[in-house]
Chains A and B, each alone.
Chain A
């Protein structure tokens, strides 16, 4: 039992060399709590994030389905969309507010969803960090650009 030579276990291909004197490498327990384990944060961030996903989801159902109906179905469908159509809608503060809220909620909802997916799937801390940086950069850029366009839109641009 003491050495591999005398043991009755039949050694297979990749086993050569391992024995009591030279054991195969030990795989670190993946979930052990060590000094490097992140400390608890004691904030309600995840709670608010979770609530935000539910509430923004409900509002987005109305906003997005309304948006799709107006843009693609009612009144001639997609063929009616043009510069004039957009300019006409954004002349009204109601549609500006609709589009602004939809932009913000959809971007934050999507970004937070992707954040949780990155948290779930990224295995190394570095990967997780850079994926999140990419995500936040893209989100902030899109939100700012969209907001800028909605507020500074000039129908006489031509």
Chain B
């Protein structure tokens, strides 16, 4: 194995450095600093960068080499932690999963904070309302009776039922792309419903009724207008709108 990797690496190294073609991309970033100005404004940065790099790399380059005051969140840099959801060219994406070559770098690339939440500084928003909605749907296993001495077993089909919604990384890309969430205060938002779905359809969980009751409320699933913004925005490819519809169907079949 290791020799094979070495063999492969050698020609790649030889051509690799020569083949890297840097381009000059313009990043138009929405800046906001409450200690300096009450208004946000756009600022352009020119970066020499390999188009196969990601937007996050460009942000790092700007922060480390051009303007240290640029503020954004990132932790894992590999699409797992969900820290760096932002609006890139008008669409919610993870900066660490968006390649520069895929978002037409000939034109200025706009980067701004996700919508619908209070901007704290530059690209950092206050996520508290988002997590409040998440906590409100009780995203933990609820059971009754004695603890089993072994694992709680489940068939492969039962596990498959909610597999899609286990992938959520709570980046808020879906919730902050939802026009109902932008317009009115209290909608739970797609991410909270996805995480409720993950437990409602889990055969080991017994709190489904309570969660359905919570989502049956005024600001629950019935406010969804099926615009599919959330499905488009999800960096993990979760079929968010489908999950919301499944919760609606569960509510209706429970009633009738």
- Is A46 touching B218 in the complex (CB atoms < 8 A)? yes
- Is A40 touching B218 in the complex (CB atoms < 8 A)? yes
- Is B36 touching A50 in the complex (CB atoms < 8 A)? no
Interface mask (B177-189 → A, CB under 8 Å = 1, otherwise 0):
0011101111000
Instruction: Collect the chain B residues with CB atoms within 8 Å of residue A120's CB.
Output: 179-180, 183-184, 223, 225
Most chain A CB neighbours (cut-off 10 Å) among B116, B119, B252 = B252
Cβ 8 A contact of B255, one of A11, A12, A44? A44
Most chain B CB neighbours (cut-off 10 Å) among A11, A30, A41 = A30
- Is A47 touching B255 in the complex (CB atoms < 8 A)? yes
- Is A24 touching B186 in the complex (CB atoms < 8 A)? no
Q: Which residue of A lies closest to B251 (CB)?
A: A47
- Check: B220 CB closer than 8 A to any chain A CB: yes
Tally of chain A residues near chain B (CB < 8 A): 37
Shortest Cβ distance from residue A81 to the other chain B in the assembled complex, whole angstroms: 37
Interface mask (A29-61 → B, CB under 8 Å = 1, otherwise 0):
111110001101110111101110000000000
A30–B35 CA distance with the chains assembled, in angstroms: 20
- Is A24 touching B38 in the complex (CB atoms < 8 A)? yes
- Is A46 touching B118 in the complex (CB atoms < 8 A)? no
- Is B183 touching A121 in the complex (CB atoms < 8 A)? yes
Interface mask (A115-142 → B, CB under 8 Å = 1, otherwise 0):
0100111010000000000000000000
Shortest Cβ distance from residue A20 to the other chain B in the assembled complex, whole angstroms: 6
A44–B119 CA distance with the chains assembled, in angstroms: 35
- Is A50 touching B222 in the complex (CB atoms < 8 A)? yes
